[in-house]
Amino acid sequence: MSTPMQHESLIDQPDNPRSWIIRLLKGIAVGVGAILPGLSGGVLAVIFGLYDVLIRFLADVRKKFVRNVLFFIPVGIGVAIGIFAFSVLVEAAFNSYAAQFTCLFIGFVIGTFPSLYRQAGRYGRTAGHLAILVAAAAGIFALMLAGGSMLLEVTPSIPVWFGSGALIGLGVIVPGMSPSNFLIYFGLYDKMAGGIKDGDMAVIIPLFFGVVICVLLLAKGAAWLFDHYYGPMYHFILGMVVGSSLAIFPTVVFPAFTADGLELSGLSFAGALVFALVMLVVGAIASFLFSRVEDTVSEKREAIEEAVKETDSRP
C-alpha cells in the first residue's frame, strides 16, 4: 500500500505498454478475486499495490482526475475481463477444481505476505499493532467459519442484486471479506455468475451500481483512516488478509478431499492433493517474485524522490 507521496508518484509515472499490460493483468486478477469463493478483490488489490491508489482517487475524484483515470483504465478493463471470463469458468472446469484453483490465489497471498508485512511496519510497529493484526485475523476467520454453516435461499430481484453489488463493493473497501462466500450462503452466487455470463442486464446493472455506490460512499472514510492511523489500519487489513486466507482451507479447500469432492473432480486423493500443492506453490513463487520486482522499483523511486527533495532544499 502506498503512502500519499507514493500514490502521487505512482500515477505521475510516464506510461508505457509494459506498465499498461501489468495493470491490465492485475485488474484481471482482482476481477477474478472479486467473485472467487473464499477470496476478496480487495485482498488482491492490496497485494498488487492498487488498493491505496484507488481509495485515494475515489476519496477525492477531482484531484488529478485525468491522470488517475488513465492509470485505472487498464485496471478497469482487466477487472471486467476477470469477472466475465471467470463467470464462464464457474460453470466449466472451476466447479470440479475449485479447491485447486483457490490454492493458486492463496499462494498469491503467501508469496506477497513478507512485502505486505514490511509495508505495514514502514513507520514502526508496536505490540498494539500486532494485537490488531491477530484480532482482525481471528475475527474474520470466525465470521467466515460461522457463515459457512448458514445456507439461505434469497429470491433474486433488482434490489437483491443491488445489495449484492454493495456487498462486493464492501469487499473492495474491507480486504479480507469475501463477498462471494456470503452470496453462496444466500443461494445467489451461481445465479449471479450465470447472469453475468449470459449478459443479463437485470443482474449486471444493479450489481454495477451497488458496487460503485458502496465504494464511493466508503472510500473517503478509508482514505482518512489511512492518513491518520496508517499503522493500525494497515495491520488491521493485514490481519483480515491472513484470517480470510486461513478460513478458505476449511470452507473451500478441505471439502474437495472428501469422498463427494473427489468424485466431483474425478481425481484420487493423492492427485487432488498434488494438484492443490502445485497450484499453491506456483502462486506463492509467482507473487513473491512479482512483489520483489515491485519493491525494487518502489525503492528506486523513493530514492530518486529523496534525492530531488534534497536538491530542492539546498540554498
How would DSSP label each residue in 91-121? Answer: TTHHHHSHHHHHHHHHHHHHHHHHHHHHHHT
d(CA 223, CA 82): 26
Query: Is the CB of residue 216 less than 8 Å from the CB of residue 2?
Result: no
Query: Is the CB of residue 250 less than 8 Å from the CB of residue 100?
Result: no
Domain range for residue 53? 4-313
> What is the full per-residue pLDDT of the chain (315 aa) written as tens digits?
444 444 455 666 666 788 888 889 888 888 887 776 656 677 778 777 788 888 888 888 888 888 888 888 999 999 888 888 777 766 565 567 777 877 887 887 788 788 778 878 888 899 999 999 999 999 988 877 776 555 556 788 999 999 988 888 877 777 656 676 667 667 687 788 778 878 889 999 999 999 889 888 888 888 888 788 888 988 988 888 788 778 878 877 888 888 888 887 888 999 989 999 998 998 888 778 766 766 665 555 555 555 555 655 555
Residues 6+ apart with CB under 8 A from 296: none
pTM for the predicted model, two decimal places: 0.64
155's grid cell: 429470491
How many separate domains does the chain show?
A: 1
Query: Is the CB of residue 112 less than 8 Å from the CB of residue 285?
Result: no
Query: Is the CB of residue 102 less than 8 Å from the CB of residue 248?
Result: yes
